[in-house]
Structure 1
Amino acid sequence: MKRAFLFIGGEGPIGDTLPEFPTSSDMVIAADSGIDLAVAYGVSVDYAVGDFDSIKNKSLLDTLEDGHVIIYDRDKDMTDTEIAVSHARNLGCDELIVIGGGGGRVDHLLALFALFDRDWTPKRWYASFGSVFLIEKENSFSLPVGTTVSCFPVGKQACSPWSRGLKWELDTLFWQRGSFGISNEVKESCFQIGVHSGRMIFIIPVDE
């Protein structure tokens, strides 16, 4: 399995370290000012893509290998993040992890969430507002009891979720688009969440 870490514009996870750090076998792709974010976390970038209208330090592009900076016109039909996702797929990556995208414009935020409705979608997304996990089968988590969590169905198919260890279990639910389960709580520190059919995103927001 070949992973791609996509660093995008906007605020990354709170703190000096990442929940997941790229290894030497992972591909790191920066979308526009995502290269600023990657460098701030001490991550070396393999490719940079986008129109670079929001990058703070353009000299960072000079540190990449020839042909590894792909510049697009500002008037385009895709966001810089979409371009990075497409580039990762073209490079043969089969797992996407997105870093950044917190704060900023609400339309940019909604565009990022819309990526989870697609057939080829990020598996995890870490930003200043919290963490987002794509649930396609079953995932196990370890969090303090009382942690607030939320779930939203994604994709074209209706979602039949289940859980073991939440305050309000999900087993009796059947979610169409527009449904959601917000402000649930962790009841057992080690818990499981999954789907019988469909997909959903599991969100662990940062406490205000």
Structure 2
Amino acid sequence: MRRFVLLLGGPLLVTEVLRERLRDLRLLAADSGGRHALALGLPLELWLGDFDSSPPWLQQILPAPKEVLPRDKDLTDGEALVRKALELGAEEVLLLGGIGGRLDHTLAHLELAFLLAEKGVRVELTDGLTRAFPLLAGLHAFPLEKESSFSLLPFPEATLAVEGARWNLPPTPLKATTLTLENQALGPIRVRVERGRAVLYLF
């Protein structure tokens, strides 16, 4: 399986568990996301961007093949990196530094995650502490441990159902709601998206 880790510019908590999870995966970085490779101590296959947010000292000490993009362009470095991963045949993508920090970037990264999901790519976003999964129409199963906390968000609207949680939900049309925030798993959960799109957020 072609499994990629895309390092984006958002915050990232680096732990030994995360380092172990990333071993033997292909790491690519977008501009300031390169700093995460340094913190992880793992090699980059490619470092892509216009490098307007990577300080000179980082560019000097981080060994990685570079692909320099123009500053005047109609897409972010993160989107360019997602397109590169698709060109390389990605089947599974982990977006590190994809959530948290700037809200505009988080929302943009979620949209990029849905773009990947729509192309059949398994995708997850994380800041090293919390995790998010884009959900398209269908049944989705997650092997959560008992008392794991999660929220389920229509993005921006969806008909959703949840089983295996402290507060189960029958198929319900949702839009701009707090009804599905801060739930708890009783064990593995099942989320059905009957219409629209949703985000599962684990914290």
TM-score calculated relative to the size of structure 2 = 0.80
Q: CA RMSD in A?
A: 2.7
Q: Distance in 2 between matches of 1:161 and 1:128?
A: 27
**Structure 1 outlier segments of 4+, above 4 Å:** 178-181
Q: For residues 60 and 83 of structure 1, what CA distance do their matches in structure 2 show?
A: 23
> Would you say the 8 A contact 2:99–2:125 is kept in 1?
no
Change (3 A) 1:149 1:14: farther
Does the 8 Å CA contact 1:167/1:184 hold for their aligned counterparts? Answer: no
Alignment correspondent of 1:46 = 45
TM-superposed deviation, 1:48: 0.8
Greater helix fraction, Structure 1 or Structure 2:
2
Query: What number of residue pairs does the alignment pair up?
Result: 196
In the TM superposition, residue 54 of structure 1 has moved relative to its aligned partner by 1.8
Unaligned runs of 5+ in 1: none
- TM-score, normalising length from structure 1? 0.79
Partner residue, 1:149: 150
Partner of 1:59: 60
2:102 maps to 1:100? no
- Indicate the residue corresponding to 1:184 in structure 2: 182
**Change beyond 3 A, Cα 1:162–1:103:** closer
Contact 1:151 1:180 (8 Å CA) reproduced = no
Q: Kindly indicate which of the two structures has a greater share of residues assigned to strand.
A: 2
1:141 maps to amino acid = P
Partner secondary structure for residue 75 of structure 1: coil
SS at match of 2:198: strand
Long gaps (5+) in structure 2: none
List per-residue Cα deviations over 1:93-148 (Å, max 9, x = no partner): 12221001454333222222232443347610011562101234322232341x43
Q: 1:81 aligned to 69, 75, 78, which one?
A: 78
Does the aligned pair in 1 maintain the 2:153–2:181 contact within 8 Å? Answer: no
Correspondence list, 1:9-28, <5 A:
9-13=9-13, 15-18=15-18, 21-24=21-24, 26-28=25-27
Counterpart of 1:8 in structure 2 is 8
